[in-house]
Structure 1
Amino acid sequence: MTVSANLITDVPGLLVGQAEDRDALTGVTVIYPETAAVCAVDVRGGGPGTRESDALAPENLVEAIDALVLSGGSVYGLAAADGVASALGARGRGFGLIDLPGVPKSPVVPAAILYDLANGGNKGWGETPPYRALGMQALQRLDHSFTLGAAGAGIGARAGQLRGGLGSASHTTSEGWHVGAIVAVNCFGSVVMPGSDAFWAWSLEQGDEAGGVRPDPSVRVMGEDWGLAKANPAAMGRANTTIACVATDVALTPSEAKRVAQMASAGLARAIRPVFAPFDGDVVFAMSTARQRLGEPKAFNLARIGALAADCLARAVMRGVHAAKDA
């Protein structure tokens, strides 16, 4: 019997690799399907930064990806996907309509970035930002286990006024379907209730995976009391964004994966207040490794997968911030 690690890599067919530049206080997380995987994306934030997200539309040619990159660095961080694509292309992995001698495949590597440029790290990199190299390093470190909290794409993140981080969680259904989530939490909004250390999503916590703090039942949230949200959002610009991926080993079509991504975004709404703001770039990808079939009734079971993905994502947010707290 496989023992759950409560990570997205509990989904069979997935590995994760991470790399950090601790001097610059930034990093990269790569989610790697062992074989090309169906993927979709749901963009809810008002200031997103993505690569190849349009290619994931169900009506477009590409139906599967070779890797997915979550990165710090704002626009500079998109170069992490260049490093991953270059390394995968050298291995002969990627999309090609026709196999032709001497013509390389085109790896499909979508990416999303968060803004960590103003977090105090040394960003004096001139014309050589570290992200391409970090992407390649992360790809070389693929494993079933990985560090939560101040690691990978979450090393320089902030969750409101708290330290943000990299979180993950998973769930296995009674029939053995696996659902998982991974997230880099760098939100404008607060993940904890006003005047409390209890997470907004505390009721979804499994055991004490995020510290086990429970709210005072007498506490009531009044009007626009956002608690430990970042102050002065207008001045913060795009200094926010929560980027995530949910995954399952149940086979999904591109359209079904899109629905799961949309449902999973509700997990961010359960864990962060406010969320999807004009100055957040919140993005959620959904991936399928297709190791098991989606049984009948399909629509109902798809709703189950999407609901579990949302819960896993909310739990991952809590775990990421909790793990980063003492880092």
Structure 2
Amino acid sequence: MTTPGPHNAITDIDGLEVGQAQDARARTGVTVLHARRPVKAAIDVRGGGPGTRESDALAPGGLVGEVDAIVLSGGSVYGLAAADGVCAALGAKGRGFALADLPGVPASPIVPAAILYDLANGGDKAWGEHPPYRALGVEALSAASAGAVRLGRAGAGYGARAGTDAGGTGSASAITRDGYGVGALVCVNSFGAVCIPGTDAFWAHPFEIDGEFGGARPPANHRFDPQDWGAAKLDPRPGGNTTIAIVATDAALDRDGLRRLAVMAQDGLARAIRPVHSPFDGDVVFAVSTGARPLAEPAALTIARLGALAADTLARAVARGVYEAGRQSGEPGSARSC
């Protein structure tokens, strides 16, 4: 059986840490995935309204191909400044890419980022010329640890909405029978809904392990109407919705393998959110590899296995984040799974 790691989080991949910070007054936050040493990375973008930084650096044929950290942030375009803070803090510690070690020339930390739109989700956003995101990025990085990840209203998911319900930050992990680790970290601010209309069950319920998001199941005789979107946002605003995520593995994947992992992991969003990848979403999935375990031959088959598992794990992470956010929010119906 496939089982979660000890934390059931992306931090079960050795070498990865997660830090989170939020501003309760502004109802927003930042999540940072920090790699203790540079890790290979790739990206796949599916939403119609994405917001990213350094995404071109992860494209095939790029010079670097490794990252020091990845930032997920609320705040729409303002949130991209969180990566500035993370980059400066890492650079001050000597982290970063350099072609040569030259006196007085700092290295360049590679810190890709993706943002979600929480500007209209409540909170005081009247920050004038001083948005909080650079400081939140530094705070989140300083809080990074290899322990459990705070779920629900935490980090970049603090002010998020999943359809019309409370969104949030989720994470999950899985260990294969032959010992590979796969983890997912996600901040859910989707246009689509995460629950089956007319039920308390998550779309992701077939992938749930040990009741990790409440254990609710649809009635056996439940009939699904493909045109019923349930608790989706029926008054979408352009740029107002996004699910941003990171999947990670300890398998030694190259950039092409990681790109395939990210592409396959996007199916996890489709298994957990309906509809997804709409013109109103900015869905982005990063993929990283610590390279700790050699890739078993045939390599393509191992990548296919890991990609399928990454999709399942990301679907679980979505449901876990929204489930915990609902329990924390105190909103009507929050005692239920959905």
TM-score range, shorter chain: over 0.9
- Are residue 203 (structure 1) and residue 216 (structure 2) matched? no
Amino acid aligned to 1:214: R
Find the counterpart in structure 2 of residue 270 from structure 1: 271
What is the CA distance between 1:176 and its match in structure 2? Answer: 1.3
Gap change, CA 1:159 and 1:3, over 3 Å in 2:
closer
Per the TM alignment, residue 3 of structure 1 is displaced from its structure 2 partner at its CA by: 5.8
Alignment check: 8 A CA contact 2:5 2:175 kept: no
Whole-angstrom CA distance in 1 between matches of 2:251 and 2:119: 37
RMSD between superposed Cα atoms in Å: 1.0
1:88-114 Cα distance to aligned partner (Å, 9 max, x none): 001110011111000000000000000
Which whole-Å deviations, capped at 9, do the CAs of 1:131-176 have from their partners, x for residues lacking one?
0000000010011222100000000000001100000000011121
- CA displacement, residues 179-218 of structure 1 (integer Å, 9 cap, x when unaligned): 0000000000010001111001100000100000000121
Identical amino acids, percent of aligned pairs: 62
* CA distance in structure 2 between the aligned counterparts of 1:310 and 1:255, rounded to whole angstroms: 17
What's the counterpart of residue 141 of structure 2? 139
How far does residue 4 in structure 1 lie from its aligned partner after superposition? 1.3
The alignment partner of 1:313 has SS state of helix
Alpha-carbon offset, residue 223 of structure 1: 3.4
Q: Is the 8 A contact 2:5 2:174 kept in 1?
A: no
The residue matched to 2:290 in structure 1 has which SS?
Answer: strand
What is the aligned counterpart of 2:61 among 56, 59, 78? Answer: 59
> When the two structures are superposed, what TM-score results if normalisation uses the length of structure 2?
0.95
- Verify: 1:128 aligned to 2:130, yes or no: yes
What's 2:178 paired with?
Answer: 175
1:1-327 correspondence to structure 2 within 5 Å: 4-144=6-146, 145-233=148-236, 236-327=237-328
Consecutive unaligned residues of structure 1, counting only runs of 5 or more, are none
**SS at the partner of 2:319?**
helix
TM-score, normalised relative to structure 1: 0.98
Where structure 2 has 5 or more consecutive residues not aligned to the other structure, the ranges are 329-338
Maintained 8 Å contact 2:49/2:238: no
> 1:230: Cα distance to partner?
0.7
**Alpha-carbon distance in structure 2 between the residues aligned to 1:3 and 1:237:** 38
Looking at structure 2, the residues matched to 297 and 86 of structure 1 have their Cα atoms a distance apart, in angstroms, of: 41
DSSP-derived class of the 2:301 partner = helix
CA positional deviation for 1:122: 0.4
Q: Which moves more between the two structures, 313-322 or 140-149?
A: 140-149
Could you tell me how far apart the structure 2 residues matched to 1:249 and 1:140 are? 24
Give the counterpart letter for 1:325 in structure 2: G
Alpha-carbon shift at residue 325 of structure 1 (Å): 0.5
How many residues align? The count is: 324
Check whether the contact 2:149–2:171 (CA below 8 A) recurs between aligned residues.
no
Secondary structure of 2:42's aligned partner? strand
- The alignment partner of 2:327 has SS state of coil
